[in-house]
A and B are shown apart, each in its own frame.
Chain A
Amino acid sequence: MATTPFAPLLQSIIRHRGVTGVLLVGEDDGLVVDSVLQVGVNGAAFAALTASLYRKARRSAEAAGLGRTGYFELDAVDGRVLAAGKNELVFIVVAEARINVGLLRVELLKAVERLP
């Protein structure tokens, strides 16, 4: 269970159908700041690897002259990972493949806006 001031934000996302984990992660170190995870979801792995992916996308996009990256999404055969960052934190949503991506994207961006 979430134990930090970020708990309400995490809870607002985890309640969506198909979401199996929500994590707030340091972008540079890939360590979990807070998380709400269903049983069996490897939070440390999602945190480290998604933060790394997000960081890579952000740096690559900047190097390619595309400016700051706001939203990131990885789709796979059996699941999706959504991420958005602010102030060196990355909000990560782990979900099943069949979800309403549009709705989750909007909810995620709203949650990120509310980060301090």
Chain B
Amino acid sequence: MSLVNYATREITCKIVYYGPGRSGKTTNLHYIYGQVPSDRKGQMVSLATQTDRTLFFDFLPLDLGTISGFTTRFQLYTVPGQVYYQATRKLVLQGADGVVFVADSQSRQLAENIESFQDLHANLADHGVDARGVPLVIQYNKQDLPGDLILPVAELEDQLNFRGVPSYSADALHGPGVFETLRGISELVLRRLSPTTAGGR
């Protein structure tokens, strides 16, 4: 549910980074946090365990500036990837305007990717949301790892992207693909508020 304030011309959108444990969701937010000037961001909040795994969520508020005369703000969340944090994932997903699915490109993580992707759809359904109507992009992270450890993007596309949503290969630790992913989901989320597509989904 994007919040649109017509009086003050402000828009606030919630974007959730979803994916299996250790796929790089928090790393995406850390990279963004590191790149964005301080006047455009709030404090990054991480509710993490002692081993640096996300316990509840990471949260990063961003001030995107003015778009079509609206002051536009994004709230970026991550969910904990580990299977046993299912309830928390569901809670964080509540009210999301867009989802970035961060897949781990390593071959041995394929099953976890598929399971997490299914989990995403199930949780959206539990919130009464048709997954096909939610802006979604997929990021194939860790594409910088040696070729023998990862699956090629084409194969990952076959396995995960049956909806044909925008997808990006990335190395979230060093930055490539992070910006493009955020740009991609931003565009989809904001497009829903534009006159040509509003109510169309």
Determine direct contact between A and B, CB below 8 Å. no
